[in-house]
Amino acid sequence: MLVAVCAGIAALVTALGIWRGRRLRSSVGVLNDDIDRARRVLDGLPDAVFSLDARGTILSANERAARLTGRSIDELLGRSFIGFVSADDRDDITDRWKRLRLDVNGSPEGPQSTSAVFELIARDGGSNLVEASLHPIGDEVPGTVVILRDVSGRERTSEALEAARRRFQQAFHSAPTGMALVRLSDNRIVDANDSLARMLDHSREYLVGRSIREITHPDDLRISAAERARIELGIDSTYRIEQRYLRRDGEFVWAKTQVAVTEEDGVPLAITHIEDISEQRRAAERLSHAATHDSLTELPNRASILARIDELLTVAEPDEVAVLFIDLDNFKLVNDSLGHAVGDELLRHVAARFRSVMRQGDELARFGGDEFVVFVNGVTQQSDNSTGEIRVGPLDPAKVAERLRRSLHDSVEIDGHELVVSASIGFATNSQRGVVASELLREADAAMYRAKAAGRDRVARFDVGDLLTQRDGASSPLRVTSDLRRALAGEEIVPYFQPIVDLTTGDFTKFEVLVRWRHPDRGLLTPDEFLPIAEKAGMMGEIGERMLRDALAQLAAWRAKDHPFGRCALAINLDAQQLGDPQLLPFVEEALGMSGIEADALWFEITETALLTDVAAATVALRDLRGLGVHLAVDDFGTGYSSLTYLKKFPVEAIKIDRTFVNGLGIEVDDSSIVDAVIRLGHSLGLGVIAEGVETPLQLSKLRELGADSGQGYLFSRPVPATMLDARVGVDVPF
Ligand code: C2E
Ligand code: CA
Ligand code: CA
């Protein structure tokens, strides 16, 4: 186009000369208009344009050409173009120009263009680097159009870039902290510095080319993946975490890791700074040890033993945990008559005696003063490390207590004093579920008082505990399984419904179906109280079928009554067992058919963990389900190992953010940023995002701000029976 305009101008200029001679005044007027128009086009161009005659003399030039050479257009006209080319480049340009002219006249292929880069001399003696293209024009009046583009700025930038790259390389390799460049697309280490190699006791060659995941502690993969997802999505450009890296000897180094993203030749790279903080961590561990241990005996202290017992109680079956409360009988006397130093020494001796008869898995703590606590752990059935006398058969805290009591019978010699000390011990076991550490301790303490009252140096079991244990045969796994079979045959296993709310409109759009067991003796049981056992007994399929059938029937009933909930969808939970069951698909099809509900109104929720249990099987099962027309959501998102890629593999349409993340929304910075990332990630993959466990208005407003699509939680409604939901129509949800 440009060349055509220039060629036009050159022809016009020539023609003008001829026509002027003929004095065709009116034609000249028209032609002048044409020239003006062409000139304006040329002057508006970002490039400098010259047209040259056959000898290389400048016939015309545009504004840009004038600016680049530092002369006016008039000054340029009539000059030889080659005079503006720097001496060094002159021969080359002349050469090219000649060849171009030759082509016009001689080559059968017709005229060619040529381009070159050279220094253009300006009036002030300076020069600009230009990129030139030369185009031959005109057959009858041969000439050349030269187009120049100033590239000196561009050149300077690339020189600066090169210098920056050199500086970076230098900084990288001489940095005292470990550094690695990691390609974001596949996690491969593109470069690593000597400090990192030293830290991990590997060579640089070993590290380069390896995946950073290979040298990351498995437990740290999840957190680093979450952070990297934010980077990949462009939400953050940098992050900082503490994580562990694998050394050659198999040990792990704790390191503060800071990652920033850069790009090299269009490839996104993570610049990773890795600073060894093992020593700091050790110092922190020493501190935390001091906070959780008694400095006199080095035993765990009161706070830490209570926490441990509580932790154990949450997973323990009844009668699996016992707490022993130990009080020394005549310690006060020793302390008062022989002084604190001797008292302290005696306590250390007692602790050592106790410790020497402890079984693995049990724990001893100093509770304060002359009180000790032992918890006897029947949950983990590890083998006995000592004589085997104690850990034979089921949990027997009385034997443990006896052994501890007797361990004090031999006298202790301190500072020349021969001391005899004895202990009164009370114990209690967790006779039912839901017992907490403080309750057990109270019971053990009460029993200890009875032991003291009965004459000291003896063991007593808490009384009411005896009564409770008899009742509790009901919860043994065996009983639960047969109970559950009976329950499934009857009306005890029922669906509860929890609404899922559209966060823009506040409407109920879906109900999650959650199983409950109306146990005749034990009251209403939640899934965590029987699903683990059902799973072990392979009964998940039956429960799932029951839920699906009942929930579909409920939806059909709502529809029959023209109830507004009839327009909502249902969300049913599927576990790994059901997902792998070949009967699932035909059953779903049949249940839909029988209820008359269309597949579109049905969602299945599958946890990340279930999806990852057997990816191949899950892929097939999900594709089949989706093929029916039902919808799929990933449940508890964020608790498994979530990677961007696997989500794309499955035909899922929504993700449910686990409530542990929603919990800290607006309070915990980390949680907010994870929820933010998950929402963006979900949306970027075209998925709907549902937040679970919305309990407070603050969480709700935060979620709406972050753009979550739907929410579910106690703030809107607890899971309730369908009959209770009916009453809720028209009740405003908190918005
Ligand atoms: P889930 O699928 O993550 O279900 C959500 C759980 O969060 C429910 O517990 C619900 O009561 C609870 N929840 C809802 N909103 C809130 C809230 O605001 N705060 C708190 N703290 N909790 C909230 P639920 O009913 O005890 O169910 C526990 C798990 O049992 C479910 O987790 C699901 O994985 C499983 N489950 C329940 N019913 C079924 C079922 O029919 N089939 C299968 N396969 N699994 C089920
Ligand atoms: Ca669920
Ligand atoms: Ca969930």
Query: Is any ligand 1 atom within 6 A of the Cβ of residue 547?
Result: yes
User: What pLDDT shows up at residue 303?
Assistant: 84
For residue 718, give the ligand nearest its CA.
Answer: 1
Number of Cβ within a 10 Å radius of residue 392: 9
Are 665 and 672 within 8 A, CB to CB? Answer: yes
Are 324 and 440 within 8 A, CB to CB? Answer: no
User: What pLDDT shows up at residue 258?
Assistant: 93
H/E stretch holding 678:
helix 669-684
Among residues 170, 166, 246, 257, which one has the least CA distance to residue 206? 246
Phi, psi of 140 (to 5 degrees): -80, -45
79: Cβ–Cβ under 8 A, 6 or more apart, which residues? 57, 58
Q: How far apart are CA 527 and CA 607, in angstroms?
A: 15
Of all protein residues, the one whose alpha carbon is nearest to atom 34 of ligand 1 is 573
> What is the rounded average pLDDT of the residues 627-641?
86
Which has more confidence, 152 or 66? Answer: 66
Q: Residue 663 above 60 pLDDT?
A: yes
> What is the rounded average pLDDT of the residues 561-580?
93
User: What pLDDT shows up at residue 38?
Assistant: 79
Q: How confident is the model at residue 569 (pLDDT cuts 50, 70, 90)?
A: very high
User: What pLDDT shows up at residue 684?
Assistant: 85
> pLDDT per residue over 346-362, tens digit each?
999 999 999 999 888 88
Q: How far apart are CA 630 and CA 624, in angstroms?
A: 10
Q: How far apart are CA 413 and CA 409, in angstroms?
A: 13
Which has more confidence, 489 or 13? Answer: 489
Q: pTM score > 0.85 for this model?
A: no
Q: What is the SS3 assignment for 203-257? A: CHHHHCCCEHHHHECHHHHHHHHHHHHHHHCCCCCEEEEEEEEECCCCCEEEEEE
Q: How confident is the model at residue 474 (pLDDT cuts 50, 70, 90)?
A: very low
Phi, psi of 643 (to 5 degrees): -120, 155
User: What pLDDT shows up at residue 657?
Assistant: 92
> pLDDT per residue over 80-116, tens digit each?
999 999 999 999 988 888 887 776 555 555 557 888 8
DSSP string, 114-125: EEEEEEEEPTTS
For residue 638, give the ligand nearest its CA.
Answer: 3
> What is the rounded average pLDDT of the residues 559-588?
93
Are 690 and 710 within 8 A, CB to CB? Answer: yes
Q: What token pair was written down for 12?
A: 């016009």
Q: Residue 245 above 50 pLDDT?
A: yes
Q: What token pair was written down for 710?
A: 């739907």
Please give all residues whose CB falls under 5 A of ion ligand 3, grouped by chain where several chains appear. Answer: 635-636, 692
Of all protein residues, the one whose alpha carbon is nearest to atom 29 of ligand 1 is 527
The segment with the largest mean pLDDT, out of 311-320, 389-398, 414-423, 543-552, is: 543-552
Q: How confident is the model at residue 469 (pLDDT cuts 50, 70, 90)?
A: very low
Query: Is any ligand 1 atom within 6 A of the Cβ of residue 719?
Result: yes
How far apart are the CA of 320 and the centre of ligand 3, in A? Answer: 29
Query: Is any ligand 1 atom within 6 A of the Cβ of residue 532?
Result: no
Q: How confident is the model at residue 471 (pLDDT cuts 50, 70, 90)?
A: very low
Q: How far apart are CA 458 and CA 475, in angstroms?
A: 32
> pLDDT per residue over 57-86, tens digit each?
999 999 999 988 989 999 999 999 999 999
Q: How confident is the model at residue 157 (pLDDT cuts 50, 70, 90)?
A: confident
Mean pLDDT, the chain, integer: 84
Of all protein residues, the one whose alpha carbon is nearest to atom 43 of ligand 1 is 573
User: What pLDDT shows up at residue 637?
Assistant: 85
User: What pLDDT shows up at residue 687?
Assistant: 92
Q: Residue 261 above 60 pLDDT?
A: yes
